[in-house]
Amino acid sequence: NVALSTSLSNPPPFIHATGAQVVLAARRALARWSLASNIQFNVTTSANQDAVADGVSLITVADTGNNRALFSTGLRPGRARVTFDPSTGSITEADMAINPNVTRLDQFGNEVGSFFSTDGTNDSYDLESTFTHEIGHMLGLEHSGEVAATMQPRQGVNGTYNLPNFTTRTLASDDVAGIRAIYGPRNGSGSIAGRVTYNSPGGSATFGAHVFAEDAATGRVVAGNVALASGAYRIDALPPGQYRVVVEQLDEPVRGDQIGSNGGGYPASSLASAAPFLTTEAGTFTVSANNTLALDVSVPGGNPALNPTFIGTGSSGQLSKVAVPVVPGRAMTVLVGGDNLGVVASGGVSINSPFITVSNVQQVAGFGIPIVSFDITPSILTPPGDYDIRLQSSAGQVAYVCAGLTVDLPVGVPAGTNLIDNSQFFVAQHYRDFLSREPDTSGLNFWTGEIEGCGADTTCREVKRINVSAAFFLSIEFQNTGYLVYRIYKAAFGDLPGKPVPVRMQQFFPDTQEIGRGVVVGQGNWQQQLEANKQAFALEFVQRPAFVARYPSGTSATDFVNALDANAGFVLSADEKTALISELAVNPSDARLRADVLRKVAENQVLQQREFNKAFVLMQFFGYLRRNPDDPPDSDFSGWQFWLAKLNQFGGDYIAAEMVKAFINSNEYRQRFGP
Ligand SMILES: [Zn+2]
């Protein structure tokens, strides 16, 4: 339960936006966390104005004495007040206020007055970013050591690098992992946990050491955490795969004493006084599903030779401590500044990603501190996410700027261009949006060739783009992963209460990833892998609390099968029903039998045909717009209903109904990839 104060609809003068814009910013910020986890916010409105303990969890922007009293400095744009139940450790109330006396540092480092906006106005704070960060605290998260994370302790102002500061509106994978670690890690993910100690495995604890994991395949930094006073750390919610693990001291750009937020595990003062140690690359490790990799790391004590403190862009000539936005396919010059960076070797800068090449490393004078400049060339296929900058001294010491680079579209895409107009990017994005994976080379080339075969014929290109786009929903891979997830929810629970569809995007994508893991249709033993995934998913699904609550053990085989059939819309023939009842009757509470019966109903041909158009329209919202049909800016299912009626009217012909065309040409879709 979260209440929006009426002050949001009638914002004070330090917020340069309308009430409607402020409310939308708050709702979008809440929706982001909701999409990343299983949290469902029940949002109400309250006449309360003060972020005080009163039993109501409130988001307020009111300029009141109580709210002003929450801020000891103007440099803190927002503040969350979280009350824990001391006996259980769970959050009983959480409030958020915005700083009426907000300030910023100007180019000379002087503190000057500032304000909030929602449109990227220079020198203001982006209100939606502040909301998103503070909601993270309200949910129990502490600060992150990754520069690009939304839970990084320092919010940049609009105008940094001559860009609006919108990248912290969206959640980094580190934020997502953090929230999933608290609110129940999804089945199918793995963890890394252990202790960090000085010099030897039995050495003293390195309180405040930042441990982070880079996906070895893409180079993206996926998640990290900070060691507690005991030296213990734990990184949860990691998708299975190979990870490079690095341990660094939180000196800069994120400092250890900025990590603690709500009186959690990190008393800030002792973090700041931890003895220094050298950044340590622990190695590459395999993380598997539902397992915790035990990894203790000992780090050499001593003063690091390299101290990267600032990052920046050559085009703006600005240095900052907020992540540098990178645009796929667009070369740029990046700066890193800090003490002793003069000892970085000429080949001593790298990005651990096959998608980003580094060249032209050189020292730059004139900033007052040592600066290393280098050019990066990111491929058009660079996946969204955050990337580390790795520096190496001529003597071999390494340092990282963890998540110093971020691909967070559309931030940084120049006006007048849109990445989605590039055929290769368009195709790659469909793999991400519909199949929840990066493209395989042969598929990417095939679909890109379909469009590029048109040459300069614009009519041909438009037709091919629509057909290529629809092909992803129609593909064997999607029909057996995403559409199967849809049908499993439909058979298990029917449509959601008060809604015409059976599944929310929050559940849909993690579950689709679980069924699709390791499957590339046409490659290797994909059929066996898919079948194994389907069995494992169905077995796990019938053991989830919601399913067990709906079908308690003791439910008879007849009742179970009848209920699934009713949910599905009475799709079973009499013979099919008899066969399923006799299969389950052997042991009606057995999870394997239940899973098999659920699958058989979900894979029923009549169900597949009946739900096809409904699911096709729902995927337009999930895949292209990355939201539920009734999420902002919509508030109900009327848009979904409009397109379903149209698709039905044309007998399912998406070309005649102009449905796919409307979605891929919509401003809402296009604005994900360009200004
Ligand atoms: Zn914070």
- 582's CB contacts (< 8 A; 6+ apart) are 557
- What is the CA angle 444-450-452, rounded to 5? 95
24 alpha carbon to ligand 1 midpoint, in Å? Answer: 21
CATH architecture designation of domain 310-407: Sandwich (2.60)
SS3 content of the chain, % helix, strand, coil (to 5): 35, 20, 45
73 alpha carbon to ligand 1 midpoint, in Å? Answer: 13
567 alpha carbon to ligand 1 midpoint, in Å? Answer: 44
622 alpha carbon to ligand 1 midpoint, in Å? Answer: 30
pLDDT tens digit string along 397-407?
A: 999 999 999 99
CB 82 within 8 A of CB 70: no
Compute the distance between CA of residue 540 and CA of residue 52 in angstroms, rounded to an integer: 42
CB 598 within 8 A of CB 541: yes
160 alpha carbon to ligand 1 midpoint, in Å? Answer: 19
Averaged pLDDT, 421-436: 96
532 alpha carbon to ligand 1 midpoint, in Å? Answer: 43
Averaged pLDDT, 421-443: 96
| Predicted pLDDT at 85 | 78
pLDDT tens digit string along 211-220?
A: 999 999 999 9
77 alpha carbon to ligand 1 midpoint, in Å? Answer: 9
Compute the distance between CA of residue 276 and CA of residue 210 in angstroms, rounded to an integer: 12
- Tell the residue number behind the tokens 């579209």, with chain if given: 409
Averaged pLDDT, 291-316: 94
Count the residues in the chain: 675
346 alpha carbon to ligand 1 midpoint, in Å? Answer: 37
Pairing of strands 58-59, 2-5: parallel
| Predicted pLDDT at 263 | 58
137 alpha carbon to ligand 1 midpoint, in Å? Answer: 7
130 alpha carbon to ligand 1 midpoint, in Å? Answer: 9
Averaged pLDDT, 36-50: 89
Compute the distance between CA of residue 439 and CA of residue 323 in angstroms, rounded to an integer: 26
671 alpha carbon to ligand 1 midpoint, in Å? Answer: 28
Averaged pLDDT, 163-190: 86
197 alpha carbon to ligand 1 midpoint, in Å? Answer: 27
Please state at what angle helix 482-493 crosses helix 557-568, rounded to 10 degrees: 120
Q: Which of 629, 608, 607 is nearest to 618 (CA)?
A: 629
- 629's CB contacts (< 8 A; 6+ apart) are 501, 618, 621, 637, 639, 640
136 alpha carbon to ligand 1 midpoint, in Å? Answer: 8
4 alpha carbon to ligand 1 midpoint, in Å? Answer: 20
656 alpha carbon to ligand 1 midpoint, in Å? Answer: 50
ω before 500 within 30° of 0 (cis)?
no
260 alpha carbon to ligand 1 midpoint, in Å? Answer: 8
79 alpha carbon to ligand 1 midpoint, in Å? Answer: 7
Compute the distance between CA of residue 426 and CA of residue 141 in angstroms, rounded to an integer: 35
315 alpha carbon to ligand 1 midpoint, in Å? Answer: 29
User: What is the per-residue burial (b if ≥16 Cβ within 10 Å, else e) of 111-121?
Assistant: eeebbbbbeeb
Q: What number of H helices and E strands is found in the chain?
A: 20, 27
Q: Please name every residue paired with 246 in a beta bridge, in sequence order, or none if there are none.
A: 212, 281
ω before 253 within 30° of 0 (cis)?
yes
53 alpha carbon to ligand 1 midpoint, in Å? Answer: 19
| Predicted pLDDT at 235 | 95
Average model confidence (pLDDT) across the chain: 93
169 alpha carbon to ligand 1 midpoint, in Å? Answer: 14
Q: Which of 139, 230, 566, 221 is nearest to 390 (CA)?
A: 221
- pLDDT surpassing 70 at residue 186: no
pLDDT tens digit string along 199-232?
A: 999 999 999 999 999 999 999 999 999 999 999 9
Q: Which of 623, 626, 517 is nearest to 34 (CA)?
A: 626
476 alpha carbon to ligand 1 midpoint, in Å? Answer: 44
| Predicted pLDDT at 88 | 74
Q: What is the dihedral of CA 378, 379, 383, 387, to 10 degrees?
A: -20
- pLDDT surpassing 80 at residue 390: yes
User: In the structure, what pLDDT confidence band is assigned to residue 577 with cuts at 50, 70 and 90?
Assistant: very high
661 alpha carbon to ligand 1 midpoint, in Å? Answer: 42
Sign of the Cα pseudo-torsion (185, 97, 102, 15, in order):
positive
Flag the least confident range among 148-162, 262-276, 488-502.
262-276
11 alpha carbon to ligand 1 midpoint, in Å? Answer: 22
Write out the E strands in 369-438.
Answer: 371-378, 385-393, 398-407
Quick one: fold of 2-140? Collagenase (Catalytic Domain) (3.40.390)
DSSP string, 187-235: TT-EEEEEEEEESSTTS-B-TT-EEEEEETTT-BEEEEEE--TTSEEEE
82 alpha carbon to ligand 1 midpoint, in Å? Answer: 12
pLDDT tens digit string along 108-148?
A: 889 999 999 999 999 999 999 999 999 999 998 999 999 99
153 alpha carbon to ligand 1 midpoint, in Å? Answer: 5
598 alpha carbon to ligand 1 midpoint, in Å? Answer: 44
145 alpha carbon to ligand 1 midpoint, in Å? Answer: 12
213 alpha carbon to ligand 1 midpoint, in Å? Answer: 22
CB 411 within 8 A of CB 166: yes
pLDDT tens digit string along 506-516?
A: 889 989 999 99
234 alpha carbon to ligand 1 midpoint, in Å? Answer: 20
Compute the distance between CA of residue 137 and CA of residue 151 in angstroms, rounded to an integer: 8
- Tell the residue number behind the tokens 């009217």, with chain if given: 649
CB 319 within 8 A of CB 311: yes
pLDDT tens digit string along 146-169?
A: 999 999 988 899 999 999 999 999
Q: Which of 95, 107, 25 is nearest to 57 (CA)?
A: 95
| Predicted pLDDT at 337 | 94
**Domain 183-299, CATH homologous superfamily name and number:** Carboxypeptidase-like, regulatory domain (2.60.40.1120)
User: In the structure, what pLDDT confidence band is assigned to residue 86 with cuts at 50, 70 and 90?
Assistant: confident
Q: Which of 11, 3, 28, 18 is nearest to 628 (CA)?
A: 28
529 alpha carbon to ligand 1 midpoint, in Å? Answer: 42
Q: Which of 304, 306, 325, 257 is nearest to 120 (CA)?
A: 325
Compute the distance between CA of residue 266 and CA of residue 257 in angstroms, rounded to an integer: 8
401 alpha carbon to ligand 1 midpoint, in Å? Answer: 20
- pLDDT surpassing 70 at residue 261: no
326 alpha carbon to ligand 1 midpoint, in Å? Answer: 24
Sign of the Cα pseudo-torsion (35, 36, 40, 46, in order):
negative
Domain with CATH 2.60.40.1120 in the chain: 183-299
- 554's CB contacts (< 8 A; 6+ apart) are 588, 589
Compute the distance between CA of residue 95 and CA of residue 333 in angstroms, rounded to an integer: 41
212 alpha carbon to ligand 1 midpoint, in Å? Answer: 19
- pLDDT surpassing 80 at residue 272: no
- 259's CB contacts (< 8 A; 6+ apart) are 142, 143, 145, 153, 208, 226, 250, 266, 268, 271
Higher-confidence position of 538 and 106: 538
- pLDDT surpassing 60 at residue 558: yes
21 alpha carbon to ligand 1 midpoint, in Å? Answer: 23
35 alpha carbon to ligand 1 midpoint, in Å? Answer: 20
419 alpha carbon to ligand 1 midpoint, in Å? Answer: 32
Q: What percent of the chain has pLDDT over 70?
A: 99
Cα of first residue to Cα of last residue in the chain, in angstroms, is 34
| Predicted pLDDT at 34 | 87
Averaged pLDDT, 643-672: 96
521 alpha carbon to ligand 1 midpoint, in Å? Answer: 43
69 alpha carbon to ligand 1 midpoint, in Å? Answer: 17
Domain with CATH 2.60.40.10 in the chain: 310-407
144 alpha carbon to ligand 1 midpoint, in Å? Answer: 9
108 alpha carbon to ligand 1 midpoint, in Å? Answer: 24
579 alpha carbon to ligand 1 midpoint, in Å? Answer: 57
3-state class of 299 per DSSP? strand
259 alpha carbon to ligand 1 midpoint, in Å? Answer: 8
Compute the distance between CA of residue 104 and CA of residue 123 in angstroms, rounded to an integer: 8
141 alpha carbon to ligand 1 midpoint, in Å? Answer: 9
262 alpha carbon to ligand 1 midpoint, in Å? Answer: 9
129 alpha carbon to ligand 1 midpoint, in Å? Answer: 11
Write out the E strands in 36-182.
Answer: 43-46, 58-59, 78-84, 91-98, 103-105, 111-113, 116-117, 125-126
- Tell the residue number behind the tokens 């209920």, with chain if given: 563
DSSP state of 155: P
| Predicted pLDDT at 195 | 97
| Predicted pLDDT at 292 | 96
- Tell the residue number behind the tokens 């402020």, with chain if given: 22
| Predicted pLDDT at 232 | 96
pLDDT tens digit string along 1-23?
A: 899 999 999 999 999 999 999 99
- pLDDT surpassing 80 at residue 651: yes
252 alpha carbon to ligand 1 midpoint, in Å? Answer: 17
Compute the distance between CA of residue 475 and CA of residue 289 in angstroms, rounded to an integer: 27
ω before 633 within 30° of 0 (cis)?
yes
- Tell the residue number behind the tokens 């700066």, with chain if given: 335
301 alpha carbon to ligand 1 midpoint, in Å? Answer: 29
391 alpha carbon to ligand 1 midpoint, in Å? Answer: 28
Averaged pLDDT, 33-42: 84
Domain with CATH 3.40.390 in the chain: 2-140
